[in-house]
Amino acid sequence: RTIVRSQSHGMTASMTHAIPSRAAGRPSRPSRARGGGGGAARSLSRKRTRQRAAADDDAYNAAMKAYSATPYEYKHELGLYYHRIRPNLIVGTQPTTAADIDRLRDVEDVTCVFNTQQDKDMEYWKVDFASVKRQIERRGMKLERYPFVDFSADSLREGLPAAAAALDAAARRGETVYLHCTAGMGRSPGLAIAYMYWFLDAHDSLDGAYEALTSIRPCGPKKESIRAATCDILAAHSDEWPIKLLERELNEYEGAQLSFGAKRMIRRKLRR
């Protein structure tokens, strides 16, 4: 078990995968104006877009402020804070400097950085992601990006199947993965729990996988999102991709426990 707080130390495969979410906001409607009124309509549309963006920023700031008042407080100024969940899987806070990448490579033998943040998350904390990415490349490490909307149960549910499949693929390649969001308390541990529940034989219940992670790293990822994503995968057709969300209400304990056969079914559907 590793607990670290630190301020610090060939080409790589770098991929970004957009994960849609109902929480990400609705697209603006096209203008119905015709002729000379088009300019005014476009101006109004741009204004509304800016207003929606400002509202999104305000909501994010309020959510982060509220989150920082919980027991799982994020201390950005303290630097890296992470826990080794498995020999090849570490979950933690966002790396913000080239020195952070050096530390992960040299001290923890990390070969793959798995980022679940949106760009705006890093911008909010004034992280120079271009510099972090360059250092990942310089050190011969891989970068995987599967952005989730922060604090969104729907975004986590929708994105988990594809992201967990990618995390499983990295593990099967023999990578040592540093999995992170911003605080390492919601999105990234939620993804780690889904991976453990779906792909590891050690956990046949969601509660068991959840406890296995949170007993090492105190955090509170959205368990219901993982349970719902489990049901989505089980109900999906074998050739369905991406996995669609069920439109019915789930039963109380549905998806909370997996038989060996159900695990095999999930793995067949996700390992493409």
**Is residue 252's pLDDT more than 50?**
yes
Distance in Å from the first CA to the final CA of the chain: 32
User: C-alpha distances in angstroms, 63 versus 68, 94, 106, 152, 218?
Assistant: 9, 18, 34, 11, 19
Residue 181 is a catalytic residue: yes
H or E element, residue 16: strand 14-16
Quote the pLDDT of residue 244: 95
Confidence band for 85, pLDDT divided at 50, 70 and 90: very high
Q: Smallest Cα–Cα separation from 229: which of 255, 253, 249?
A: 255
Q: Which residues pair with 115 in a beta bridge?
A: 145, 180
Quote the pLDDT of residue 61: 53
Q: Smallest Cα–Cα separation from 192: which of 146, 136, 137, 253?
A: 146
Q: How far apart are CA 29 and CA 272, in angstroms?
A: 36
Percent of the chain with pLDDT over 90: 69
Look at the block and give the residue holding tokens 């729990």.
Answer: 193
Quote the pLDDT of residue 32: 36
* Residue pLDDT, tens place only, 3-47: 444 333 333 344 455 544 433 333 333 333 334 445 554 455 445
Amino acid at 199: F
* Residue pLDDT, tens place only, 191-234: 999 999 999 999 999 999 999 999 999 999 999 999 999 999 99
CA–chain centroid gap for 147, Å, is 6
Residues 6+ apart with CB under 8 A from 57: 120
**Is residue 237's pLDDT more than 60?**
yes
> Which among 112, 181, 219, 231 is annotated as catalytic?
181
Question: What does pLDDT average to over the chain?
Answer: 83
Q: Smallest Cα–Cα separation from 233: which of 212, 187, 190, 264?
A: 264
**pLDDT mean over 163-180:** 98
* Residue pLDDT, tens place only, 242-251: 999 999 999 9
Confidence band for 2, pLDDT divided at 50, 70 and 90: very low
Q: How far apart are CA 21 and CA 157, in angstroms?
A: 9
Look at the block and give the residue holding tokens 């001290």.
Answer: 107
**pLDDT mean over 44-69:** 52
H or E element, residue 197: helix 187-199
Q: Give the pTM.
A: 0.76
DSSP state of 250: P
